[in-house]
Amino acid sequence: MEPREMRLLVSYDDVGRGEPALLLLPGWCGDRSVYLDLARHLARRFRVLTLDWRGHGRSPAATGEIGEAELVEDALAVIERSGARLREDIMVGMTRARTSLLVAACGSDGTGASAFYPWNLAGTRQ
């Protein structure tokens, strides 16, 4: 998996095919390597996007503070850059609050992305 660089200087991988895309979000201070095995497995059936938050993993050092707004920016920029269909993404996150915020950013009308929390095997539709 070769990383791709984008205008927000966030490194990400895009493997597999199909829609909806699965966007795997690492926890704070983590990088996409936490999903390496899972991404390879899921890529047999799905398109899988994994990212390194700015200032983490293969992404360049951050300039300034990194808060929730910047994390949302990073995730949405990966979706945009990859050409994934925003309204159909499924986001898998390590923390419920961050994933919920990202789902909310995708659409407040109920047609936004789905979120799956690793500890909730049934998943959740926001």
Pairing of strands 90-93, 21-25: parallel
Q: Residues 59, 61, 64, 66: what is their CA dihedral angle, to the nearest 10 degrees?
A: 40
pTM of the full predicted structure?
0.74
DSSP 87: G
Domains of the chain, by residue range, sit at 30-125
Interval 30-88: pLDDT, tens: 889 989 999 999 999 999 999 988 888 888 888 888 887 788 888 888 888 888 875 56
Nearest to 98 by CA among 77, 70, 60, 56: 70
